[in-house]
Structure 1
Amino acid sequence: MIRTIVVDDEWYNRAEICDFIEKTGFMRVESCCQNGAEALREADRVLPQAAFIDIEMPEMDGLTLAEKLLEKYPEIQVVFITGWNQYAVAAFELNALDYIMKPLNKARFQKMVERLKRRVELTVVKQGNRISIRCFGGFDVMVNGHPVIWRRSKAEELFAFLLTRHDTFVAKEIIIENLWSGYEITKSLPILQTAVCKIRNIFSMCKSEVRLIYANNRYGIFLSDTDCDYLKLESMVNDFQDGYPKSFEALEKACETLQCGLFDGRGFLWSESCQEYLHRKLSLMLCKIADHYHAQNDVLLEIEACKQLSRFSPIDDEAQLRYISVLRARGRKDTINRHGDWLRKTLQEEYGCGLPDVVEKALQERSE
């Protein structure tokens, strides 16, 4: 039996809804509540799998109640049963299963509960999922070894955007500004809502691992038990310790990963700022590593750190000058010449420019 709660401030409405539910034969009303506060207390006691909620209620309206229930019980199925139709958009933004108008129609109610039954049954049998997300060198999302088929490019981009801001909420206005800046608000909102529905459908069986939550006019992606290269790189940056030997090895791998390009080939314009931010952070960390080895008088590792920095940031004049200076201090003229050849070729082929005068001068001085 599917455990349900019914919430409506009018007793006769509660009685009618309860009667409809009990007659299905596969649902049971565990609690019948007249307001949101009571429903929240009862939910902690009965752990409902579905909630039938009126929207227009005093003190706490049904939308707010549903939002609170979904925060505590992500798997709960919410059905709004109301006499008002102007809340439909807001209801579906909360990922409600259905929105039924009063007075209740038996055929319409039956159609809804069959959907609810299938959704709950799928949730019950669901085991832990393996979610793999690759953000560098492209963008691929795998669920239990199967690639996600987005079909809608804006759903894919919205998921990527919220992923880079995971475990926090982003206002609708900021999402629209970054993803659909050229659209009028009346056009961009339906696109956003469609993309949200698509994402929720894709991960409907993975709510323990991937949750898209709506609250206070904001959306957020919340992840757990996922294998994601972006999260790993972000964690490495946050956990970085100056001078810790393993940090340099991890840092080298992180630089290699970032050089593959965040969402490479997807054309997400907003991702460029994310790429630049991570690049600055990793460059600063490489500088700190080089400083540490210099203070320890570890010549070989200082050279290696400076080399990594120069290769990671070929258009950074200071990085190039530092590497050349370290090589010159150790009398490595041949290495300076080889580096100069590599740098000229890289700048020309990848950036379409030549060496800055200050770097060219440093190379010539150090190769004499």
Structure 2
Amino acid sequence: MKVMLVDDEPLALQFLESQLHSIGDFKIVGAYQTSRGLTERIKDKKPDLLFLDIKIGAVNGIELAAAIQEAHPELPIVFVTGFHEYAVQAFELNALDYLVKPIQKDRLRKTIQRLKMDEQKNGSDAPLQINCMLTLQFIQNGKALPVQWRTSKAKEIFCYLLHHAGKPVRKDVLIERFWEEKAPEKAYTQLYSTIYVIRKTLAASLPALSLSNYNQCYQLHLGNAEVDAARWQDRVNRLPVLRDHSLTSYQELLRDYKGDYFAAEGYAWAESGQWQLKEIWYKTATQVTAFLEERNMLEDAVSLYLRMQSDYPYIAHSYIRLMHVYGALGETGEVVSHFKRLKMMLKDEFDIAPESEVVDWYESWRVQHMQG
């Protein structure tokens, strides 16, 4: 294992190096008394583990580690210090461990064991599928993972960070959204506690995911995990022009929309993303149903229109098109039924009547049917 050490005390560096050599086969790829150029040294030496003093002269090791995690999010960091007072900040940064000088062999062994356990867990994990459409769910090896959230707040903030995955989210934004009514000091204490809970949950159940802290922001890193909503939207963007040969791809895409974005959780902040995906689905469904009608595939059109009506009951379009399609199929009872449903929906929800064009079509169809 390649290890890098940073401590402004030369004796502390020598002691840590000797302790490491006494408990295992470690290759020290760098032992530095200054943090100058450390990010570039890490890039060049590619260590598997970094031991970092929390105070390196005038440099704050916590802030330095945040910058390192931004550039090298996969590098485990172990903080070393003579004081306990930085422990909360260290773990809030998602450090692998926190060691107090003088470092004891048994304590150092536990740190290395923790790293090896994390590596084994990450190495054996199959790709993670994260579902957000309808409800939050984690799938691995075809099975749902039983992830336990200690608090509903921790779950919601994780979901919010997942919504912004790969992008930094400012701490003050989280405070304003989730703890606006709290005094700033209490709000930040609760934020840090919640982030700690999230980190513990990720470490225990979702080690493929990681959370970094840099420049007053948090950022969720997905690794090789895949989010269903993002994948579904990507499939929409890659659809070919709708033709006979591509119709199946469109139909499969519509069927694979399993539910609205975080609908089961009911998060208010998710509504914009929810409506964006719903609009894409409905627009695509409208395109497909029109194509099916053109090809006289009326039964397939009816099936899709009924889903549109069920999922989006306050849009008149599906009622009107079902009247036309059922009319073409000779299903007179269904035409009458859907006209009545349309009238009732418009009256109950909007206190309006169907447009005159729709009423004229229906009356004309009814006269022709009665005459027939």
Q: How does 1:1-368 map to 2 (within 5 A)?
A: 2-24=1-23, 29-44=28-43, 46-57=45-56, 62-71=61-70, 73-82=72-81, 89-100=88-99, 104-106=101-103, 109-110=104-105, 112-126=107-121, 127-130=123-126, 131-142=128-139, 145=143, 146-204=145-203, 209-226=208-225, 228-243=227-242, 244-255=246-257, 257-258=258-259, 261-290=260-289, 297-300=294-297, 303-304=301-302, 308-318=307-317, 320-321=319-320, 324=323, 333-340=332-339, 353-354=348-349, 356-359=351-354, 364-365=359-360, 366=362, 368=366
Secondary structure in 1 aligned to 2:50? Answer: strand
* TM-score, scaled relative to structure 1: 0.76
* TM-fit CA distance, 1:163: 2.0
Superposed CA offset, 1:105-154 (max 9, x none): 34xx5565243122112033333324343434433335664411112222
Please tell me the residue identity of whatever aligns with 1:8. D
Secondary structure in 2 aligned to 1:213? Answer: strand
Partner of 2:370: none
* TM-fit CA distance, 1:156: 1.5
| Cα RMSD (Å) | 4.0
Distance 1:206 1:31 in 2: 33
Percent sequence identity over matched residues? 23
Distance 1:161 1:22 in 2: 43
Count of aligned pairs: 354
**Structure 2, gaps ≥5 residues long:** 367-372
Residues 162/96 of structure 1: CA separation in 2 closer, same or farther (3 Å cut)? same
Please tell me the residue identity of whatever aligns with 1:66. A
* TM-fit CA distance, 1:86: 7.3
Please tell me the residue identity of whatever aligns with 2:348. C
Determine if contact 1:55/1:62 at 8 Å carries over to the other structure: yes
Determine if contact 1:208/1:224 at 8 Å carries over to the other structure: no
* TM-fit CA distance, 1:82: 4.3
Residues 192/362 of structure 1: CA separation in 2 closer, same or farther (3 Å cut)? farther
Residues 174/298 of structure 1: CA separation in 2 closer, same or farther (3 Å cut)? farther
Determine if contact 1:171/1:218 at 8 Å carries over to the other structure: yes
**Structure 1, gaps ≥5 residues long:** none
* TM-fit CA distance, 1:328: 6.5
Residues 123/92 of structure 1: CA separation in 2 closer, same or farther (3 Å cut)? closer
Largest Rg, 1 or 2? 2
Please tell me the residue identity of whatever aligns with 2:119. V
Distance 1:30 1:310 in 2: 64
Determine if contact 2:309/2:318 at 8 Å carries over to the other structure: yes
Residues 176/317 of structure 1: CA separation in 2 closer, same or farther (3 Å cut)? farther
